[in-house]
Amino acid sequence: MVSPDIDETAGAQEKAEGLVERLAIEKAHAVGANLPDSLIIGSDQVATYDGKIVGKPGDRATAVKQLLAASGQTGLFIYRGCPLELQFWGDSITGNPL
């Protein structure tokens, strides 16, 4: 497993479905940039409740606050995967989503 080290911040108007898809693709490309001739699977998961994206809490106090706010509500986890086949051609790499 390789960490893609990308910014996972949602855009101001970005919806959960678009965010999770964008992050899966960006992660696949970020990891694949260093692994030519490889099959890469980038993926991400976004949690939502009450129609709002729930970000990573970062600390215990924020996690407790998020859990209390979501208590008794139905949450949704949205997952996307992006398989990417990378091929090395001379001095360039091309990525083809599968």
Is residue 46 domain-resident?
A: yes
- Per-residue CA distances from 58 to 16, 17, 19 (Å): 19, 22, 19
Residue 57 lies in a domain: yes
* Residue 1, in any domain of the structure: no
Answer yes or no: is 74 within a domain: yes
pLDDT recorded at residue 86: 64
Q: Per-residue confidence at 97, pLDDT binned at 50, 70, 90? A: low
Distance in angstroms between the alpha carbons of the first and the last residue of the chain: 19
**Is 18 a residue whose pLDDT tops 50?**
yes
With respect to residue 2, please indicate whether it lies within any of the assigned structural domains: no
- Looking at residue 72, its amino acid is G
- Establish whether 91 is a catalytic residue: no
Please tell me which residue in 37, 44, 59, 91 is annotated as part of the active site. Answer: 44
Residue 11 located in a structural domain: no
Per-residue pLDDT tens for 49-93? 888 899 889 999 999 999 998 898 888 999 999 888 766 554 544
Domain count, the chain: 1
